[in-house]
Amino acid sequence: MIQDTINNVRAWGIDKGIIGPNGKATERRQLDKLIEEVEELVDAVCNNERDEKIDAIGDCTVVLILLSEIIGVPFEECLSMAYNVISQRTGKMVDGVFVKDK
């Protein structure tokens, strides 16, 4: 199911001219878009708006999927690489945040 959704996001990005052979998006503009979406997530968290949190997390993920395509690395590879790193980390929870050992 998630793979279908990722592929649908890619198809949407191609259809909208964000990515693909006619894609006009740049890394920098996608980064700006990600910051905008994260700011919306911050607002949703601060205001404890559940539906807005869900929407913002989804929007951030869409931007990250498209950004990964722009840089030429599939989103799944980016996610796997990150997981392979964090899965080996040790650390502890401090004030609601996981703090990795040095």
In Å, what is the CA distance from 14 to each residue of 8, 9, 49, 50? Answer: 10, 9, 31, 30
In this predicted structure, what is the pLDDT of residue 44? 98
2-100 belongs to CATH 1.10.287.1080? yes
Does the pLDDT value for residue 52 go beyond 90? yes
In this predicted structure, what is the pLDDT of residue 102? 86
Model confidence at 24, pLDDT cuts 50, 70, 90, reads very high
pTM attached to this predicted model: 0.92
Model confidence at 93, pLDDT cuts 50, 70, 90, reads very high
In Å, what is the CA distance from 5 to each residue of 17, 30, 95? Answer: 18, 19, 34
Mean pLDDT of the region 5-15: 98
